[in-house]
Structure 1
Amino acid sequence: MANGEPRISEQRWSLKGQTALVTGGTRGIGHAIVEELAGFGARVHTCSRNQTELNDRLKEWKAKGFQVSGSVCDLLSRTQREELMKTVSSEFDAKLNILVNNAATTKMKRAENSTSEDYSFLMSTNLESSFHLSQLAYPLLKASANGNIVFISSVAGATALPGLSIYSATKGAINQLTKNLACEWAKDSIRVNTVAPWAVRTTVLKPGDNILLTA
């Protein structure tokens, strides 16, 4: 006690004993989320398409004393998503406390110039993979009796921005998906929330692009 006031711990809360899966955790927002969760004591598994980048991050986290593991996964592949969840289930004894659907991408194009390939790519990466991973994680989250899903959306999901019609549609869909899953899975002690950042300096876009996106 100092001056009659109670001493406040530097770490007011802890995630020790909790488990988490963060997609796209080797860079940008996902990297920060992994470090935050691990810093509070959670055991974290993350994934990346790039084996070298993943190995480099795992070495860094080990040096910091974080409990982080990882595997290579292309989230566009349904089979690889299923393999990822099998790995997570095995590693965390078929229980998961936290799923962060972070991985996403974009292509800046005017609507009239967007192709069917652009549409399929963005919908599959940003929306379908997150929905499917949530489905796969459902029994693990339910088994933990304290499940949490966090979707990383964007202000683009609620505000019109130039050149981002398809990207914005995926994020608007994520916002609605969050509401539905929150209602459907509340009875299973699974909370579902969305975080919608504004402009964040990440590596989603190439140098020279005129807008910075969130994931």
Structure 2
Amino acid sequence: MGIKQKFELKGKVAIVTGSSKGIGLSIAKGLAENGAKVVISSRKQEAVETVAKEFNSAGLEAIGIACHIGDEAQRKALVTKTIEEYGRIDILVNNAAINPFYGPLETSGEEVFDKIMNVNVKAPWLLSNLVQPYMKENGSGSIINISSVEGIHPGFRLGLYSMTKSALIMLTKNQAKEWGRYGIRSNVVCPGLIKTKFSESLWSNEKLVAGYNQMVPLQRMAEPDEMAGLVMLLASDAGSYMTGGVYAADGGYLISG
């Protein structure tokens, strides 16, 4: 098989959480364009159906299944409905995340801690556990967890978020170590500053952006589409020997200063 064919995902089924906008949407579109049947998922059914219809109109195969990943019943329904529709799950992209707090560690309340841990760490762990039996049955599968450079290098006023993203990196490594025997690969992508609604509070600050651009080697922040290529590699046979890896797509942020 040639390298071009190894990137093809025809016959594969992918679930992408938080995929009605931002990085998740770009990843979902990339997977669909490479031939995968994609499940668009985020909290609101109307939003996921809109994206799925846009994909279908472009000749791509996709369905929309709403899921608040912090809710146990909705996680189970997401997996059950995917199996009912497509009969298999080959790729899981744990992209959905929240950051409800921006400030010093000592000023946050326990409620915020519980909320961010539930969505950013507990949910990807449990959702991965739900898809694992189907991947195990197939003898193959790719789990791609979307972390952040903040999970590797601490930033100011993002302490709780950084903690969750660091935990997600270790979850990935343990999945890779425990599930590799079943042909299941798990890798983690750590984006830098991306121009999405999620990070708008950062990139809308002109002073902060100017400082960031001056610091990183590529001298700019990224567009959501720039994260999709790395995920295509990790999801496909082109990345068949890649597991337990931590891959930054950060414009050189981690090697700056």
C-alpha distance in structure 1 between counterparts of 2:6 and 2:83, whole Å: 29
Task: Give 2:94's aligned residue.
Answer: 101
1:22–1:34 CA contact under 8 A, matched in 2: yes
String of CA shifts for 1:18-59, please: whole Å, max 9, x gaps: 111111111111000100000000011121112222222122
Determine which of 54, 58, 61 is the counterpart of 1:60. 54
Q: Which residue in 1 is equivalent to 2:190?
A: 196
Q: Which TM-score applies when normalising by structure 1?
A: 0.89
Of 110-119 and 131-140, the range deviating more from structure 2: 110-119
CA contact (8 A) 2:19 2:25 kept: yes
Partner secondary structure for residue 191 of structure 2: coil
Please give the per-residue CA displacement for 1:92-144, whole angstroms capped at 9, x wherever unaligned.
21x21111000011121211211111101110110010000000010111122
Cα drift, residue 10 of structure 1: 8.1
Partner of 2:110: 116
| Alignment partner, residue 3 of structure 1 | none
* Structure-2 residue corresponding to 1:92: 86
Q: Label 1:207 to 1:196 Cα distance change in 2 as closer, same or farther (>3 A).
A: closer
Q: Give CA deviations for 1:149-202 in whole Å, capped at 9, x if unaligned.
A: 000010000101011111000010011111111010000000000011100011
Measured at CA, do residues 161 and 140 of structure 1 come closer, stay the same or move farther in structure 2, by a change above 3 Å? same
2-side partners of 1:83 and 1:11: how far apart? 33
1:1-215 correspondence to structure 2 within 5 Å? 13-93=7-87, 95-106=88-99, 107-207=101-201, 210=205
What is the SS of the residue equivalent to 1:117?
A: helix
Question: What runs of 5+ residues in structure 2 fail to find an aligned partner?
Answer: 210-220, 225-257
User: Which protein is richer in helix relative to its size?
Assistant: 2
- In structure 1, runs of 5+ residues without a counterpart are 1-7
Q: Distance in 2 between matches of 1:76 and 1:13?
A: 32
| Secondary structure of residue in 1 paired with 2:145 | strand
Amino-acid identity (%): 35
> Quick check: 199-208 or 83-92, which moved more?
199-208
Aligned residues: 207
Deviation at 1:206, TM superposition (A): 5.0
Equivalent pair of 1:85/1:136 in contact (CA under 8 Å): yes
